[in-house]
Amino acid sequence: MWRYFIRKFNLLIITIFLLSLLSFSLLHLMPGAPIDALDPDSSLSLAEKSALIQHYALDQGYWSQYIHYMGNIFSGDWGTSRIDQIPIFAQMINSFMATLQLAISAMFVAMLVGVPLGIISAYYHGSWFDRGVTTLTLIGQSVPVFWWALMLILIFALGLHWLPISGRIGLLYDIPEVTHILLIDIALADDEYQRAALWSAIRHIMLPTLAISIIPTTALAQITRASLIDISEKNYIQAARAKGLSRYQVLWRHALPNYFSSFIRHVGALTNPLLTTTMVVEYIFSWPGAGRWLIHSLVAQDVPAIQACMLTISIFVICVSVITDLLAAWSDPQQRSMPHG
């Protein structure tokens, strides 16, 4: 296990180094000189320009610029946004936490709905329920997320007036930001309207969660079903059945524990599509998250913000993938010896 841990940790460090290099190089990959990329409208005064050159150490060589950039990253000085002149680091934490809240609640729904669906359809393999779930997962995988989100808005917000369309919480509530995850902040806030605020926040998160969760839910149902059917053909399951255990006992005692490690692995692999989906859905629901911020900064050519988003999101993805790999290896020693898994 230690060998595996060190190998994965090594991989993590190298990957983060490459990602930071890519994020840093973005400034140089832009057409024109780096200073033009930071100031596409040439609207800055000479003093502001020299401040920027100072901040990014643009008058030095490539590698010393990189070291300077990393120093800035670690000291929490991520530059200021070109558009609204606010520090990027604070904005990044704010919006990334909003994204995380949305992504985690979607993943939660997916685990709550998708995994049981997969288990039941594998248990009754070949029944009408199984066929129904297979059809549903195929349909769910083929629906364009943005279209699905708009249809949800059309039905639940505009048609039935059940749920609000956009934002995170009603405008009336003023919640002090401590953890930047709204639901926790509300729980911490000592307010007479706490309950109402919580209800408002939950109503706001429902539609985007529903919109995003279609992808991980169907994926998890499909994967769970396929893996359990694969496992049920293994010899140890046959042996357990021959021993006289009921199908139900076999499922709980033998099949599901063996499914756990590949489940963890698949959850890790789902992070990437989950974040992609979240970014699109945020844009539709005006959810103040990293995806929406990224698209706005792209339109406004705000390079430092794009760099920050790219670095944060991709490092998050690689960290989740390494953690899930470690968890999977911890629960299933066979996977530790795989050359690259």
Q: Can you tell me the distance from the alpha carbon of 70 to that of 67, in angstroms, rounded to the nearest whole number? A: 5
Least separation in angstroms between CB 10 and other proteins: 9
Beta carbon of residue 154, minimum distance to other proteins (angstroms, whole number): 6
Residue 50 CB, nearest approach to other proteins (Å): 25
Question: Which token pair is 273?
Answer: 């599509």
* Rounded-to-integer distance, Cα 39 and Cα 42, Å: 5
Structure tokens at 29: 């990959």
Considering only residues 300 to 329 of the shown chain, the ones binding other proteins according to CB under 8 A are: 301, 303, 306, 309-310, 313-315, 317-318, 321
Per rule CB under 8 A, is residue 279 in the interface with other proteins?
A: yes
Tell whether residue 335 is a contact of other proteins (CB under 8 A).
no
Q: State in angstroms the smallest separation of the CB of 189 from other proteins.
A: 33
Q: Which is nearer to other proteins, 143 or 189 (CB)?
A: 143
Q: Which of 283, 285, 287, 293 binds other proteins (CB under 8 A)?
A: 283
Judge whether 267 and 327 are in contact, CB under 8 Å. Answer: no
CB 184 within 8 A of CB 102: no
Residue 44 binds other proteins (CB under 8 A): no
Is 72 a binding residue for other proteins by CB under 8 A? The answer is: no
Of 275, 326, 328, 329, which one interacts with other proteins (CB under 8 A)? 275
Check residue 272 for interaction with other proteins (CB under 8 A).
Answer: yes
**Is residue 338 a contact point for other proteins (CB under 8 A)?**
no
Look-up of token digits 């359809």: 121
Distance of CA 311 to CAs 25, 53, 190, 301, Å? 12, 21, 35, 17
142 binds other proteins (CB under 8 A): yes
Residue 244 CB-half CA count within 13 A: 0
Q: Binding-site residue total for other proteins (CB under 8 A)?
A: 46
Q: Which stretch binds other proteins (CB under 8 A): 14-22, 55-63, 118-126, 180-188?
A: 14-22
Nearer to other proteins, 29 or 178 (CB): 29
Long-range contacts of the stretch 306-310 (C-beta < 8 A, 24+): 306/26, 307/23, 307/24, 307/26, 307/27, 308/78, 308/79, 308/88, 308/89, 308/92, 309/92, 310/19, 310/22, 310/23, 310/26
Q: Is 162 in the site for other proteins (CB under 8 A)?
A: no
> Does the footprint of other proteins cover residue 6 (CB under 8 A)?
no
Structure-token pair, residue 182: 């709204």
Give the span between the Cα atoms of 273 and 318, in whole angstroms.
13
**Among residues 59, 60, 87, 147, the one that binds other proteins under rule CB under 8 A:** 147
Residue 83: both structure tokens together: 């558009």
Nearer residue to other proteins within complex by CB, 107 or 182? 107
Of the pair 29, 51, the CB lying nearest other proteins is at 29
Could you please report the per-residue DSSP string of 262-286? HHHHHHHHHHHHHHHHHHHHHHHHT
Q: Does 38 bind other proteins (CB under 8 A)?
A: no
For binding to other proteins (CB under 8 A), which residues are involved?
Answer: 11, 14-15, 18-19, 22, 26, 29-31, 138-139, 141-147, 150-151, 153-154, 158, 272-273, 275-276, 279-280, 283, 294-295, 298, 301, 303, 306, 309-310, 313-315, 317-318, 321, 340
